[in-house]
Amino acid sequence: MEKKQSLKAIILLLAVVPILLGVLLGAEMSGQTIDHVPTAVVDLDGSDFSQSLTTYLKDVTELDVKTVSNDASIVEPGIKSGEYIVAIVFPDGMAADMKSGKSPYIQVFSDGSQLHLLLFAKTKISEILITAQAGYIQEVYQGKLSMTADDAYNYLMPINVNYETLFNPLRSMREYLIAGMIATVWQLTISFAGAELAMHWNLTGIKERLKGILAVGVGASLCLSAAYGVQMLFFGMPFHGSLAGFWIITILFAVALAGFGFIVASLLADRVFVMQVLGFLLLPTALLGGFTFPLISMPKTMQTVAAFMPFSYYSNIIRRLSLTDIGMQYLDKDITVMLLFAIAAVAGVGLVTRREYAKQRRTLREAE
């Protein structure tokens, strides 16, 4: 009866939780990119040029111009209240200064506490203002120097730079995050399933234990594939990489985590405490393993710590497989690293089993 209940718990952990989480995240992050960032425009100039620029900003889908005013005192209270994230202030005399050859300063105020929105909005606003500046100077060249439009453009832009994003060209936050976010919770469910094997399945021999851990690893990989399949079918999640590479790396990662859960549960007696320890050890890996903050920007000490976290490798691999068309020839290093983690977990299970055998022999000798 106990094993039957444990099997239900394992199925719930491995099958239901990742798929349900994927559906919820897919619905929540259904927008491909960040848009309609609340924006205020303060026009202290009131010229035809500033008004036409304001009209252009209103038509940009990435920005949602909530307020157009000629009073600069609204900026700070509006940002503090959250009414808008960005405020653009056109200075008094902006058009006149531009006509006389001066360079007026357009001020852009932003809410640094909304960094994810701010970075996107700031890039878009910079693009718009640079384009407006180039267009105005081109008109000046054409008017004052009697240049053709093409000649004016060539003087203005003597060097053309073409930026091309090879992967994730839409700069979609959902596509960038979704695969790793599902894997973040999925890794915890695998370790819980491995702990269930140790606590309720009475697997005494090393072969039985390894078979159980391998079964959990393969089952967990199937369930993650199903969760990603739901994302691809209903929410448009991309997957361009090697499917064989995904399977190999995912199974090795799952075996490593199932083994880790088995080891922790074998060393600790209380079920609730086991779950707490696993959660305490694994949940922070999403933050410390480079998924949300790049490893190359971390101190060397933290990079060293992350090197011993399987998720720090897996989160990067699954993101690359999702967004880039990489084949098996690019995954040799990743497969080797995951294989080492899996071997370490299997060795740990072997040591725990040997420890239990030694304890049983000591108990028998004491009884005699």
Contact 206, 350 (CB under 8 A): yes
Distances (CA, A) of 23 to 13, 18, 27, 313: 15, 9, 6, 25
Q: Which of 358, 360, 352, 355 is nearest to 259 (CA)?
A: 352
Beta-strand runs (E) in the chain:
37-43, 63-69, 86-90, 107-110
Report d(CA 183, CA 180) in Å as an integer. 5
Bridge pairing between strands 86-90 and 107-110: antiparallel
Q: What per-residue confidence (pLDDT) applies to 1?
A: 55
Q: Which of 21, 352, 305 is nearest to 194 (CA)?
A: 352
Q: Set out the domains of the chain in order of their start, with CATH numbers.
A: 2-29+172-367 (no CATH), 37-156 (3.40.1710.10)
Q: What per-residue confidence (pLDDT) applies to 131?
A: 66
In sequence order, the 6+-apart residues with CB closer than 8 A to the CB of 87 are 39, 40, 41, 42, 74, 75, 78, 79, 108, 109, 110
Q: What per-residue confidence (pLDDT) applies to 146?
A: 64
Report d(CA 82, CA 110) in Å as an integer. 11
Q: Count the Cβ atoms, other than its own, within 10 Å of residue 79.
A: 21
Report d(CA 199, CA 138) in Å as an integer. 75
Q: What is the pLDDT along the chain (368 residues), one digit of tens a residue?
A: 567 788 888 888 888 888 888 888 878 776 656 678 889 999 999 998 889 888 888 887 778 899 999 999 999 999 899 898 889 899 999 888 877 767 788 888 888 777 666 666 667 677 776 666 666 555 555 565 666 666 655 655 555 566 677 787 767 778 888 899 899 989 999 999 999 999 888 888 899 999 999 999 999 999 999 999 988 998 888 899 999 999 999 999 999 999 999 999 999 878 889 989 999 999 888 888 888 788 888 899 989 988 999 999 999 999 999 999 999 999 999 999 999 999 999 999 999 999 888 887 887 777 76
Q: Percentage helix, strand, coil, to 5, in the chain?
A: 70, 5, 25
